[in-house]
Amino acid sequence: MNIKLIALDLDGTLLDSRKQLSEANRQALYRCIENGIWVVPCTGRAVDGIPSEVINIPGVRYTITTNGAVIYDIKEDTVMDTCMLPWELALEILEFLDSRHVMYDPYIDRRGITEPRFIENLSDYGLSLELQKMVKMTRDIYPNIIEYVKKSHKPVEKINLFFSDMEEREKLRAELKKRDDILVTSSMPNNLEINAPGATKGEAIRRLAAHLGIDMKQTMAIGDGENDFTMIRMAGVGVVMKNGSDELRAEADYVTDSNDESGVASAITRLIFGAEL
């Protein structure tokens, strides 16, 4: 299989349930890099939310973040490409959300932005202990998110929402989906993610592949969640984790082992190198 670029979702895919990189997955990534294959983390996280054990692997140069809103060159420490929400639009959405029982945090300048009422009450919004730990490590705290966006005038990569009430989540999703100036998706059962139209993982892979002179037929994408649909459909080979949703598995060219069984390593070993683990 002539694969030149592998795009890897992180949570639920490359990382296990404890948000850790298994040794089998690590060795599989090393093997790809040694064979001239670009390894590209492709995540809903912001750049600063990517674990050091992933982003510091020698040979991992590019990363696609916030669902395709930003393509980042790690080596040059530069943003290569963006598809972001204008600050005025982001402000309008945040003000709309403010009266709801939902935790919201915009991603700006490679970081999530939160405020004390959210970060001090994460369990009230349905976050697991592992997810709480990650959120605390990847958010900057400001007294008031809306005031920060008003004053900074900075474009927003993504707005992330967490819910404790799934009925409220579905109602709000239905309202947001009526708009044609945003894209609404999700990466886990109790969240929603708001991006600019065109900010998808699939489109970002296409743009990065074109930059590298790689045909999309030579790309592989591995994921597990709703925000992975576009890359599974658009990549030359779409691989879905066993722990992925039924709907996403139906889109897959290949279903691999779960994220707690080093499914990324299984897929790479079998599909690219033609061997069993």
Angle at the Cα of 83 from the Cα atoms of 138 and 98, rounded to 5 degrees: 55
In a domain, 262, yes or no: yes
Domain boundary pick from 195, 229, 252: 195
- Together in a domain, 92 and 112: yes
Domain boundary pick from 174, 195, 216: 195
- CATH code of the domain covering residue 106: 3.30.1240.10
- Together in a domain, 100 and 170: yes
Global pTM value: 0.94
- CATH code of the domain covering residue 220: 3.40.50.1000
Q: Find where tokens 């709907």 sit.
A: 247
- Together in a domain, 106 and 180: yes
- Together in a domain, 185 and 207: no
In a domain, 277, yes or no: no
Q: Find where tokens 């890359």 sit.
A: 231
Residue type, 103: M
- Together in a domain, 68 and 138: no
Please tell me the total count of domains within the chain: 2
> What pLDDT, on a 0 to 100 scale, did the predictor assign at position 1?
75
- Together in a domain, 154 and 60: no
Question: Which of 79, 126, 128 is CA-nearest to residue 107?
Answer: 79
- Together in a domain, 79 and 204: yes
- Together in a domain, 203 and 129: no
> Which of the residues in the chain have pLDDT under 50?
277
- Together in a domain, 48 and 144: no
- Which three-class secondary structure state does DSSP give residue 94? helix
Domain boundary pick from 195, 222, 242: 195
> What pLDDT, on a 0 to 100 scale, did the predictor assign at position 255?
98
- Together in a domain, 58 and 98: no
Dump pLDDT digits (tens) for 169-203. Answer: 999 999 999 999 999 999 988 999 999 999 999 99
Residue-number span of the structural domain to which 252 is assigned: 5-83+199-272
- Together in a domain, 26 and 49: yes
Chain centre distance of CA 246:
19
Q: Beta partners for 111? A: 108
Question: Which of 270, 277, 184, 210 is CA-nearest to residue 5?
Answer: 210
